A and B are shown apart, each in its own frame.
Chain A
Amino acid sequence: YTAGGSSGAAKVVAAGLLTVGGGVGGTILYAKWDHKFRAAVENNVPYSDWLLGLALGPAYQGDIMKQVRMDSQHVWVIIADCFEKITGSEFLPHSEASAEASHIISAISEISTVPAPCDTESAVKGHCSPWSPSLSCFLSVSDCSAAVSASLEECLASSAKATLQAIGAQEAAVQAITQHIHKLKEAMEAEVPPPEKSSQWKDLEAALADRTSAVNDAETALLKAKEALDSLKSEIDKSKGLKVSAVRPLVLAAEENLHNMVVDLDRVVTKLQSAESESKIVSQYSDLVNEAKLQFQREVSSLTPEIQANWKGLTGKLSADDLNALIAHAHRRIDQLNRELAEQRVREQIHIDASLEQQKLEDQKALEKAVLTAVQHIKEDTRLEQERKLSELREVMEAEMRTQLRRQAAAHTDHVQDVLKVQEQELRADAEQVLGSKLLEQETSYRQLSQEQLDNFTLDMNTAYARLKGMEEAIDSHVVAEEEARKAHQLWLSVEALNYSLKMADADSPTMPLESAAQAVRDSCHDNDFALALATALPEESLQRGVYSEASLRARFNALRALVRRVALVDETHNSLYQYFLSYLQAALLFEAKQEAPPGQLCSEDLDPFRLLSYASFCLEHGDLELAAKLVNQLRGEARRVVEDWLTEARLTLETRQVVSLLSAYANAVGLGTTQAP
């Protein structure tokens, strides 16, 4: 598995490398083909410009031609605005051209400037003056005619560059030639010491080398320039063939540029040629001189073979003989030369005539050629002039039409202005009205709202105040109610205490005196008349001494019953001892029911003491002290006297109980009344 894994890993690595390499290679190839892509890559990826420069060379050399071939449309607008500028500066004083140019320039968003080709040959910028501004204002626009202008511009730029180069080269060559000639002249004519001479010859050789190189450069540059100019011409012809009206001034400008370039080039070439011819003469002269020198040297060396060839070194090394020989030779040579000179003078005339003739012929030829070229140039000039005049006329026509149109437009604008003014007035009036009404509405609504707010606020305040008041009252009433409840509670408590103390009686002894409890009750109800009345209604006896409980009364009654039975017959009239005896006898012999339920109404038979006693006993047994007391109250005579205090006690107890029960009921009622129902 590991082997497979490792081979898998190797596969993965290989695939990755392949992908990366493919990507990079593809990018480079595509950058080679599409310069915009290349520019984009160079902008976005760092060090890619270095890589692409390595792979493809610098960015914009040859770029222009390709661009021209690719999008020929871009040239138009550029040419348009540039030529507008030119035409505006040279021919049309109106600001329209410049305005339009500025329009175009301002409307252009993307600016990718082609580097001005003049920057390499800054020394010769003076020659470029008529068409360097046009070059400096090259901008690329994506329009139909703009493409053509762009292509034209590119062509122009290239040709201008080439021409400049050529001119520069020619100038350099001319310079070199003149330098060389000068040096040659110097070398030949100047009498300088030998070391200087050798350096001079060296300089001369260097100058010669320079001149040859310069001339070669000039040749190549000239060729290039001619090529560029030809291409430009073809481009112009092509764009002329497109027959777009907006393009014509561009074409015109391009043609003019071309013409100027051609003229300059020819001028420089003629300069070069003249320099060359001059140099030829000078070189011929130098050749002759050299030849003479060589011959002289040869003669001298033939005469004096042991002497060095360079006759400059002869000084200081010759003997007198040598010198004499040399002088003789020199004299002979001089004579010969004089003869030759005379001969030459004679021949000279002939030669001069011949050469003059030749020269004439040559001049004729040159003249013809120059005339031809001049004619051509003039023809070209006139044509261009015609074209210019035509365009001028067209411009004038355009301008006139524009003026007319402008007048119309002005009239229209005036009318429109008037109408607009009127409308404005109307609308303003309307708007003001609407505004007024709206404002009024707003005012009223605002006032209303504010009033409403005020009212609401007042209402809220009132309600709040009322609520506050209500709350206060409620609280107060609560407090009062609490107080009442407390009092009622207290009352109830005291009544309960009273009740309790009432119940707390022992079997035979009375209760504790109810005074304190009653006092408590009185205290707890000192503002309540009813309770107060009730509290004061308690019998004095109960307060001071207390009352007997029912149980004790019941018990007492049972004891009392026997006595009552015994004295049943004794009353006011029958109260002797005999009666007593009879009464006792009756009691011993009579048996009544122990307890008998009393009827609803008492008849006269029921008033029998024994009956009454049984009724009362029954009532007592059933807890009805009141009825018992009532029944007992019916007893008469001695029986009555006997039960009198029992009756009193019973009455007391009943009274007290009644009062207490009333108080209790009252206290309960009050307590219930003061209880806050949830």
Chain B
Amino acid sequence: MAAEHGRKWDRCLADTAVKTVTGLAVGVVFSVVLFKRRTWPVSLGSGLGLGMGYANCQHDFRSPYLVHGDMVKVSGEGEMWRVTAACDASFFMMSTCAHSQDQ
């Protein structure tokens, strides 16, 4: 798991860097094209890129803790929505891991 952490960081950083540069590039392009070489598209674009990368990074780091739900239609008495929570396989010790919510 520690290697994954490192891998995550690598990915994250790489992604952020890419996004930032791409945003920067787009900003530059926009600034050059549309906005008469104003700096605000560059910073906007890099900011956008950076933000996206940060968000992705965070999401990537958060991903184990996210709870996913699946809608399962149960036939019979009425429609009941059952939400099953699928956890990360490594969190089998967590108490919040598997729980089903009946409604």
**In the bound complex, CA of A560 to CA of B57 (Å):** 22
* Residue of A576, A577, A643, A645 ringed by the most chain B CB atoms within 10 A: A577
- Chain B contacts of A643 at CB under 8 A? 1-2
Q: Are A577 and B1 in contact (CB under 8 A)?
A: no
Interface flags, B52-64, vs A, CB<8A=1, else 0: 0010011001101
- Chain A contacts of B54 at CB under 8 A? 577
B101 within 8 A of A: no
Given contacts A580-B61, A641-B1, A642-B2, 9 further A-B contacts (CB under 8 A): A572-B65, A572-B94, A575-B61, A576-B58, A576-B62, A577-B54, A642-B5, A643-B1, A643-B2
Q: Are B2 and A563 in contact (CB under 8 A)?
A: yes
B2's partner among A559, A572, A580 (CB-CB below 8 A) is: A559
A567 within 8 A of B: yes
- Chain B contacts of A567 at CB under 8 A? 5
Can you offer 27 A-B residue contacts whose CB atoms are under 8 A?
A: A559-B2, A560-B2, A563-B2, A563-B5, A567-B5, A572-B65, A572-B94, A575-B58, A575-B61, A575-B62, A575-B65, A576-B58, A576-B62, A577-B54, A577-B57, A577-B58, A640-B93, A641-B1, A641-B90, A641-B91, A642-B2, A643-B2, A644-B1, A644-B90, A645-B1, A645-B2, A646-B1
Interface flags, B89-103, vs A, CB<8A=1, else 0: 011011010000000
**In the bound complex, CA of A575 to CA of B65 (Å):** 8
- Chain B contacts of A576 at CB under 8 A? 58, 62
Within 8 A of A (CB), among B5-37: 5
Minimum CB–CB distance from B63 to chain A (whole Å) comes to 9
Residue of chain B at shortest CB distance from A633: B93
A-B contact count (CB 8 A): 36
Residue of chain A at shortest CB distance from B89: A644
Binding site for B on A (CB under 8 A): 559-560, 563, 567, 570, 572, 575-577, 580, 640-646
Residue of chain A at shortest CB distance from B67: A572
- Chain B contacts of A577 at CB under 8 A? 54, 57-58, 61
Total number of B residues with any Cβ neighbor in A under 8 Å: 15
- Chain B contacts of A640 at CB under 8 A? 93
Interface SS of A by simple majority: helix
Q: Are A572 and B58 in contact (CB under 8 A)?
A: no
CB contact under 8 A between A641 and B64, given known A560-B2, A567-B5: yes
**In the bound complex, CA of A580 to CA of B96 (Å):** 22
**Would you list the 3 A-B pairs with minimal beta carbon distance, nearest first?**
A572-B65, A577-B58, A563-B2
**In the bound complex, CA of A643 to CA of B2 (Å):** 7
- Chain B contacts of A572 at CB under 8 A? 65, 94, 96
- Chain A contacts of B65 at CB under 8 A? 572, 575
Within 8 A of A (CB), among B45-75: 54, 57-58, 61-62, 64-65
Minimum CB–CB distance from A74 to chain B (whole Å) comes to 151
Minimum CB–CB distance from B77 to chain A (whole Å) comes to 35
- Chain A contacts of B93 at CB under 8 A? 640
**In the bound complex, CA of A576 to CA of B54 (Å):** 10
- Chain B contacts of A570 at CB under 8 A? 61
**In the bound complex, CA of A567 to CA of B9 (Å):** 12
Minimum CB–CB distance from A554 to chain B (whole Å) comes to 15
Minimum CB–CB distance from B1 to chain A (whole Å) comes to 5
Minimum CB–CB distance from A572 to chain B (whole Å) comes to 5
Q: Are B1 and A642 in contact (CB under 8 A)?
A: yes
- Chain B contacts of A563 at CB under 8 A? 2, 5
Minimum CB–CB distance from A661 to chain B (whole Å) comes to 26
Residue of chain B at shortest CB distance from A578: B58
Minimum CB–CB distance from A439 to chain B (whole Å) comes to 104
**In the bound complex, CA of A389 to CA of B78 (Å):** 186
Minimum CB–CB distance from B67 to chain A (whole Å) comes to 10
Minimum CB–CB distance from A468 to chain B (whole Å) comes to 66
- Chain B contacts of A644 at CB under 8 A? 1, 90
Residue of chain A at shortest CB distance from B12: A577
- Chain B contacts of A560 at CB under 8 A? 2
- Chain B contacts of A642 at CB under 8 A? 1-2, 5
